[in-house]
A and B are shown apart, each in its own frame.
Chain A
Amino acid sequence: MTLTTPTTAPRLTSRTPAPTRRRRRGRNTAWVLFFLAPSAIPLLLFTATPMGASLWVSLHKWNLLSPMEFIGLDNYTKLLTDPTTRSIFGHTLGYIAGYLPLVYVGGLALALALNQAFKGRSFFRAAYFLPVVTSWVVVALVWQWLLNPTNGLVNTVLGAVGLPQPGWWTDPQWAMPSIILASAWKDLGFVMVILLAGLQAIPGELLEAARVDGASAWQRFRHITLPLLSPSTFFVVVISLINGFQVFDQVYVMTGGGPAGASQVVVGQIYDLTFRYGRAGEASALSWLLFIVILGVTALQIRGQRKWVTHA
């Protein structure tokens, strides 16, 4: 008697079998699609479709006006043998090599400083974040003006303290450093916010315990803060690298790729090929080369993260 109830119940459930479960799974799929739709549809329309179209265009010779002429992989072989390709990728890597350390170290320093309790902290946090939400055109024009070789603020100050005054964006040697400086300044706030969130997630008792055990400030930073910050660092590095490969706006406004092509980057070349030289096919092929490079670099980072990213 007493046993019947428990035994019938499981039997019932095991008898409600496949059809219901399958029906439920079908209903779940519908719900999944329903909730995915708001982001999936735009992604399909505005990302996947243009990507497919650009892959198609990259196999053609097309000046935007004429009918497209199919030429297979010619655009790719042309790009891979063209010395310009090497130089624009070189400039882009140079940009990343200067920008990434600067923006990470600067953002970390800011995050550490603004993680301390002091009066006006929110104001400074907001102030440093402001450039992130400012239009690139505005920022680039302001920096072009600050770095004006003859009457810009930076050179005026450098001159006053007796330091050399570089030609900045008018000098091929200094054009890329000018762009790096402006970019790092603009993105500092973004890195700061991510790292600040990371810092606040570090449990206070760990640092407290280390202090009690006699660890110095540097030791606590080196052996507790930095390792526990590594997931945030990983995120910042991945995002900054992707953005770095796609650098364009600031270059277009500040130097237009010049002087003498010294600051021409990959996306700048894609723009010029399409809109100045009417070589949309080549430009699309170059977009795909860039996509493959970014995909490869990101995949390497995700593999590499196991070695250095600590998950608390």
Chain B
Amino acid sequence: MSLTTTARRRRPAMLAAGAALTLALAACSQGSATNPTSAPQPSDDASTETADAPEPAAEDVTITYMNFSSNDGQEETLAAMVEAFEAENPGIKVAVETLPYADYFTKLQTAVAGNTEADTYELNFENFVTYASNGVLAELTGVPADVYKPAMLEAFQLDGTQYGLPASFSNVVLYYNKDLFTAGGVETPSADWTWDDVRSAAEKLTDKDAGVWGMYQPVSFHEFYKVLAQAGGEFFNADKTEATFASPQGIEAATWLVEKSGTVMPTEADGAGTPDFDTNLFKEGKLAMWTTGIWMFGALADTDFEWDIAVEPGKVQQASAMFGNGVVVSARSQHPAEAQKWIEFLTGSEASTKLRVEASWELPPVADESLVAPYLEVTPPANRKAVFDSLDSVALPPVIESQQEMQDIVSEELGNAAAGRKSVEDALTDAQDRVNALLG
């Protein structure tokens, strides 16, 4: 009850946050990938076929749709969207294939290379650019543009041509197990927390004998560029010709990431980094704090302990990661008109937006704020406002042509520092040199 009042009172703030997000998106214009390390998309239920039971009639058209974001928890929401679409469009069927994020892009690019990709598929923004510029996406015409937030729609254009529709966006927040905080007599995280507060709470709540850890934050590229922004550092120089992250702020950021390992955070030898490790640890009630995306809301809806979220604390400023997904039509689709109809329904219709918001499946990219309002009233977590507050200060991933190699280099060198094989300074300097070599 008090939760809903808070939520109602905060609605104007949310609208403001929505506007801020639009600005943030417009500013970024080269979005992001859903973070593979902080968002391990579990591999159980690896591939779900939702071909509808009755055999389609002779004149029926079947559209295939491949996606990763419904994996682990939102498969039924997507199925409900498909059902609503099929009810509204007799004669068009949708067959869904869902893959875990970790395997998704390997499978997708192999399928594209072999001309066997689905009619419609999901792409995160960063990969969208690659696919759009290689000419494998169908041009979309007559899109109902006023349905979407303008910046989000523009994000899926290349040289003025619409090649995809925005489907959802999400960000990363600090999750915490309220029961562990209460039991340990530690004050719960709030908006004015900094790294120091996180550190001292994590130290108090770690109980290695009981297998309880204070904090989990992956030691990886996707965490690093964000904590670098939290420390006030820059990944690249202004004209993006040189990496500059081996700065004093970079060292501070990397130290913050690696110093937790083994003291308040499980190490690789404890299983850290293996699929679902952090998710399971948190679900079992053995993790006090965790930085991960709002896409986990669904999977954590029925834990047997209380949890909540807060804006991720920073060092000199707050900075939160934000990610966006879109849906595209393959240039080789035999049914481009029906395919476009389906993705317009999936991303912009009132019916699917309502389903998305009710299920807390990330956030819808629609312009109509009233459709998003109910999001704040669903619990857990009680403090949903933090999702929008986080958008006030967004850190976007640095993007270069050899993206995956850069990410691997940074993650590998941070791993060297975390394992004590190199000093933080050496690891960062080496990473910076190697990234600069990629820039050529």
CA of A276 to CA of B112, assembled, Å: 15
Interface residues of B in 387-424 (CB under 8 A from A): 402, 404-405, 408, 412-413, 415-416, 419, 421
5 contacts between A and B (CB under 8 A): A64-B110, A65-B134, A170-B267, A260-B416, A275-B109
Query: Which of chain B's residues have a CB closer than 8 A to the CB of A65?
Result: 109, 112-113, 130-131, 134, 136
Interface residues of A in 35-82 (CB under 8 A from B): 63-66
Query: Which of chain A's residues have a CB closer than 8 A to the CB of B110?
Result: 64, 275
Q: How large is the interface on B (under 10, 10 to 19, 20 to 34, 35 or more residues)?
A: 20 to 34
B269 near A150 with CB under 8 A, answer yes
Q: Total A-B residue pairs with C-beta atoms closer than 8 Å?
A: 53
User: Known interface pairs A63-B134, A64-B109, A65-B136. Does A277 touch B415 (Cβ–Cβ under 8 Å)?
Assistant: no
Indicate whether B241 reaches chain A with its CB closer than 8 angstroms. Answer: no
Minimal beta-carbon separation of B268 from chain A (angstroms): 5
CA of A277 to CA of B403, assembled, Å: 8
Chain A interface helix/strand/loop/mixed: loop
Pick the residue among B269, B402, B405 that contacts A149 (CB under 8 A). Answer: B269
Minimal beta-carbon separation of B267 from chain A (angstroms): 8
Pick the residue among B269, B405, B408, B413 that contacts A167 (CB under 8 A). Answer: B269
Pick the residue among B113, B405, B412 that contacts A258 (CB under 8 A). Answer: B412
Which residue numbers of A lie inside 8 Å of B, CB to CB? 63-66, 148-150, 167, 170-172, 258-261, 275-278, 280
Minimal beta-carbon separation of A129 from chain B (angstroms): 30
A276 near B419 with CB under 8 A, answer no
User: Known interface pairs A150-B270, A172-B421, A277-B402. Does A66 touch B134 (Cβ–Cβ under 8 Å)?
Assistant: yes
B421 near A260 with CB under 8 A, answer yes
B109 near A259 with CB under 8 A, answer no
Query: Which of chain A's residues have a CB closer than 8 A to the CB of B130?
Result: 63, 65, 278
B419 near A170 with CB under 8 A, answer yes
CA of A149 to CA of B113, assembled, Å: 41
A64 near B402 with CB under 8 A, answer no
Contact with A along B127-165 (1 / 0, CB 8 A): 000110011100000000000000000000000000000
Minimal beta-carbon separation of B139 from chain A (angstroms): 17
Pick the residue among A150, A172, A278 that contacts B109 (CB under 8 A). Answer: A278
Indicate whether B106 reaches chain A with its CB closer than 8 angstroms. Answer: yes
A258 near B415 with CB under 8 A, answer yes
Minimal beta-carbon separation of B265 from chain A (angstroms): 14
Minimal beta-carbon separation of B406 from chain A (angstroms): 10
Minimal beta-carbon separation of A157 from chain B (angstroms): 16
Query: Which of chain B's residues have a CB closer than 8 A to the CB of A276?
Result: 404-405, 408
CA of A148 to CA of B408, assembled, Å: 24
What are the 6 closest A-B residue pairs judged by CB atoms, nearest first? A65-B134, A64-B113, A149-B269, A66-B134, A150-B269, A275-B106
User: Known interface pairs A65-B112, A65-B113, A275-B109. Does A260 touch B269 (Cβ–Cβ under 8 Å)?
Assistant: no
CA of A29 to CA of B157, assembled, Å: 62
Minimal beta-carbon separation of B46 from chain A (angstroms): 14
Minimal beta-carbon separation of B210 from chain A (angstroms): 15
Query: Which of chain B's residues have a CB closer than 8 A to the CB of A260?
Result: 412-413, 415-416, 421
CA of A267 to CA of B404, assembled, Å: 19
Pick the residue among B112, B416, B421 that contacts A64 (CB under 8 A). Answer: B112
Known: A260-B412, A280-B113. 17 other contacts (CB 8 A): A63-B130, A64-B110, A64-B113, A65-B130, A65-B134, A150-B270, A172-B421, A259-B268, A260-B415, A260-B416, A260-B421, A276-B404, A276-B408, A277-B402, A277-B405, A278-B130, A278-B404
CA of A149 to CA of B419, assembled, Å: 13
Query: Which of chain A's residues have a CB closer than 8 A to the CB of B404?
Result: 276-278
B269 near A170 with CB under 8 A, answer yes
Query: Which of chain B's residues have a CB closer than 8 A to the CB of A171?
Result: 419
CA of A277 to CA of B339, assembled, Å: 30
Minimal beta-carbon separation of B134 from chain A (angstroms): 4
A170 near B268 with CB under 8 A, answer yes
Interface residues of B in 75-115 (CB under 8 A from A): 106, 109-110, 112-113
Query: Which of chain A's residues have a CB closer than 8 A to the CB of B112?
Result: 64-65
Query: Which of chain A's residues have a CB closer than 8 A to the CB of B134?
Result: 63, 65-66
Interface residues of B in 261-320 (CB under 8 A from A): 267-270
Minimal beta-carbon separation of B393 from chain A (angstroms): 31
Query: What residue of chain A has the Cβ atom nearest to residue B408's Cβ?
Result: A276
Query: Which of chain B's residues have a CB closer than 8 A to the CB of A63?
Result: 130, 134
Query: What residue of chain B has the Cβ atom nearest to residue A148's Cβ?
Result: B269
Query: Which of chain B's residues have a CB closer than 8 A to the CB of A167?
Result: 269
Query: Which of chain B's residues have a CB closer than 8 A to the CB of A149?
Result: 269
CA of A167 to CA of B270, assembled, Å: 12
Minimal beta-carbon separation of B273 from chain A (angstroms): 10
Query: Which of chain B's residues have a CB closer than 8 A to the CB of A261?
Result: 412
Query: Which of chain A's residues have a CB closer than 8 A to the CB of B135?
Result: 66
CA of A261 to CA of B134, assembled, Å: 31
